[in-house]
């Protein structure tokens, strides 16, 4: 039985479960019958698309889970099925770290679709830290690509893997830069809408080592994350002092990033209910600046109309290095983005009417937020939803035609998820 964190996928009735990438996976006659649906790939299991009714799932977690840190170069090599929490645990033994996201549960899919972290402003997206990859194209061709050591044709493949890998490749190994593990201060607590507005305004002036995360469920909870890598850093001190005017916020010091649990269950912010299914859409947009008051009003209206207490909106802050690194060298094209909000909707599984209402709320909320966040971060694949085509177009922008070409050449049978 495939035990995965995403309940939609966990409840799926699989056609077949496989653990190895070998030649038979790519045999043409395996995919010739009309009933075949594309292969689902599970690296961590946090997406609703890693297993579906009547689909075959390739679960990388069993046989592609090795982690090796080279102590001379501080580069770490991980299998395609390595969970981000396990990566952090391994690195921590050597006082190293990596910019993972707010959850420790995702696998390598987190990295390959971009990888937004509280550390991204200082160290870039997860894809910006890829040094080399190994794996297979959808036509069965083995690939081994190392940054700065490949020809122009393969350079395009590597760029597309950084952001769009799931559509034409199965990645079994990734080599990553690691970073020095530093102490972290988190300032956290409940705030009201007016305070959120003020904090967003302050955050758009934060230095690269500070970032804002917030979640609006029944109430609004925020995390201001500061990496303390220089005790003499006056800019950090001055920015954190500005937050002392918010009485509900509390400071917590952590030895390293690995010790932090974001949005812990004890807060009762939303239901992580085993009887619920869910979907999430992630957006991208630039600084809000003078639009902050209009955005806050819009957010309030959206939350007044949410269909149940399990639905919420949250946001992470990008910027800093994510705006400066690797221009044109990946398929994460929206480098000017400062904010990655996401809309989460949940419903009782098997309640088709409630599902329809919840998805309608996602789409209406997305429509209202588009003026502030016009683009998409494709952290989850939604080819089973009506929004799939629009999401892909908004995610890949001016590189969409290149992606279609790569898909046609390297996944001609459509083994992997469709565009």
Phi, psi of 129 (to 5 degrees): -105, 10
> Cα 29–32–38 angle (5° rounding)?
105
Beta bridge partners of 302: none
Q: Give the relative orientation of helices 152-164 and 400-410 as an angle to the nearest 10 degrees.
A: 100
> Is the pLDDT assigned to residue 271 strictly greater than 60?
no
Beta carbons of 240 and 226 less than 8 angstroms apart: yes
The torsion defined by the Cα of 77, 82, 85 and 89, in degrees rounded to 10, comes to: -40
The DSSP bridge pattern shows strands 220-227 and 210-216 to be: antiparallel
Q: What is the pLDDT of residue 262?
A: 84
Residue 323 in domain: yes
> Is the pLDDT assigned to residue 270 strictly greater than 60?
no
Residue 76 in domain: no
**Least confident window among 275-279, 352-356, 370-374, 396-400:** 275-279
Mean pLDDT of 407-418: 94
Beta carbons of 256 and 311 less than 8 angstroms apart: no
Tens of pLDDT along 100-138? 999 999 999 999 999 999 999 999 999 999 999 999 999
Q: What is the pLDDT of residue 363?
A: 97
> Is the pLDDT assigned to residue 367 strictly greater than 80?
yes
Phi, psi of 373 (to 5 degrees): -130, 85
Tens of pLDDT along 81-108? 999 999 999 999 999 999 999 999 999 9
Tens of pLDDT along 26-48? 876 665 554 557 899 999 999 99
Q: How far is CA 79 from the centre of its chain?
A: 18
* Helix, strand, coil abundance in the chain, percent, nearest 5: 35, 25, 40
Q: What is the pLDDT of residue 23?
A: 84
Residue 57 in domain: no
Look at residue 382 and give its three-state secondary structure.
Answer: coil
Residue 356 in domain: yes
- In this prediction, residue 266 has a pLDDT band, given cuts at 50, 70 and 90, of low
What is the average pLDDT value for the chain, to the nearest integer? 92
Look at residue 109 and give its three-state secondary structure.
Answer: helix
> Is the pLDDT assigned to residue 233 strictly greater than 90?
no
Residue 144 in domain: no
Host domain of residue 363 = 184-397
Q: What does the alpha-carbon distance between residue 183 and residue 102 come to, in Å, rounded to a whole number? A: 17
Convert 11-40 to b/e letters by CB count within 10 Å (16 or more is b).
Answer: ebebbeeeeebeeebbeeeeeeeeebbbbb
Q: What is the pLDDT of residue 200?
A: 98
> Is the pLDDT assigned to residue 285 strictly greater than 90?
yes
| Domain count within the chain | 1
Tens of pLDDT along 320-345? 999 987 666 999 999 999 999 999 99
DSSP 145: E
- In this prediction, residue 287 has a pLDDT band, given cuts at 50, 70 and 90, of very high
Q: What is the pLDDT of residue 234?
A: 84
Residue 136 in domain: no
> Is the pLDDT assigned to residue 267 strictly greater than 70?
no
Q: What is the pLDDT of residue 230?
A: 72
Q: What does the alpha-carbon distance between residue 178 and residue 123 come to, in Å, rounded to a whole number? A: 10
Residue 112 in domain: no
**Least confident window among 121-130, 146-155, 248-257, 325-334:** 325-334
Look at residue 167 and give its three-state secondary structure.
Answer: helix
Beta carbons of 14 and 7 less than 8 angstroms apart: no
Which residue carries 């269909």 as its tokens? 307
Helix (H) or strand (E) holding 10: helix 7-10
Beta carbons of 44 and 106 less than 8 angstroms apart: yes
Write out the two tokens for 51.
Answer: 């297993």
The torsion defined by the Cα of 40, 159, 411 and 58, in degrees rounded to 10, comes to: -20
Q: What is the pLDDT of residue 136?
A: 97
Q: Which CATH number covers residue 243?
A: 3.40.462.20
**Percentage of the chain exceeding pLDDT 70:** 94
Q: What is the pLDDT of residue 258?
A: 84
> Is the pLDDT assigned to residue 272 strictly greater than 90?
no
The DSSP bridge pattern shows strands 40-42 and 56-59 to be: parallel
Residue 99 in domain: no
Q: What is the pLDDT of residue 24?
A: 82
Of 3, 6, 129, whose CA–CA distance to 75 is shortest?
A: 129
> Is the pLDDT assigned to residue 1 strictly greater than 80?
no
> Cα 259–261–267 angle (5° rounding)?
145
């Amino acid at each position: 039985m495939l035990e995965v964190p995403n309940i939609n996928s966990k409840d799926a009735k699989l056609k077949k479960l496989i653990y190895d990438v070998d030649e038979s996976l790519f045999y043409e006659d395996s995919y010739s019958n009309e009933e075949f649906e594309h292969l689902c790939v599970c690296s961590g299991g946090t997406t609703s698309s890693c297993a579906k009714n009547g689909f075959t799932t390739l679960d990388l977690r069993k046989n592609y889970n090795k982690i090796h840190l080279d102590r001379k170069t501080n580069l770490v090599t991980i299998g395609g099925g390595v969970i981000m929490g396990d990566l952090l645990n391994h690195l921590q033994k050597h006082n190293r770290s990596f910019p993972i996201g707010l959850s420790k549960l995702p696998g390598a899919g987190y990295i390959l679709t971009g990888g937004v972290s509280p550390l991204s402003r200082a160290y870039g997206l997860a894809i910006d830290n890829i040094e080399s990859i190994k794996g297979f194209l959808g036509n069965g061709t083995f690939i081994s690509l190392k940054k700065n050591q490949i020809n122009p044709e393969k350079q395009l493949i590597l760029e597309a893997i950084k952001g769009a890998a799931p559509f034409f490749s199965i990645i079994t190994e990734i080599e990553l830069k690691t970073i020095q593990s530093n102490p972290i201060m988190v300032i956290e607590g409940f705030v009201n809408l007016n305070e959120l507005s003020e904090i967003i305004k302050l955050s758009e002036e934060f230095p690269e080592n500070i970032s804002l995360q917030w979640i609006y469920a029944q109430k609004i909870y925020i995390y201001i994350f500061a990496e303390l890598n220089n005790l003499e850093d006056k800019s950090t001190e001055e920015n954190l002092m500005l937050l002392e005017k918010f009485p509900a916020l509390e400071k917590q010091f952590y030895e390293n990033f690995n010790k932090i649990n974001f949005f812990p269950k004890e807060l009762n912010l939303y239901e992580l209910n085993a009887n619920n299914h869910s979907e999430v859409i992630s957006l991208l947009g630039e600084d809000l600046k003078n639009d902050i008051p209009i955005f806050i009003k819009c957010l309030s209206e959206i939350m007044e109309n949410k269909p149940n207490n399990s639905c919420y909106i949250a946001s992470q802050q990008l910027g800093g290095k994510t705006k400066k690194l690797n221009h044109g060298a990946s398929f994460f094209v929206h480098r000017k983005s400062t904010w990655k909000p996401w809309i989460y909707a949940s419903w009782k599984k098997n309640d088709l009417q409630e599902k329809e209402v919840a998805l309608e709320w996602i789409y209406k909320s997305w429509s209202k937020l588009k003026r502030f966040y016009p683009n998409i971060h494709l952290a989850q694949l939604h080819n089973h939803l009506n929004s799939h085509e629009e999401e892909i177009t908004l995610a890949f922008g001016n590189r969409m035609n290149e992606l279609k070409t790569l898909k046609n050449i390297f996944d001609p049978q459509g083994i992997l998820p469709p565009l």
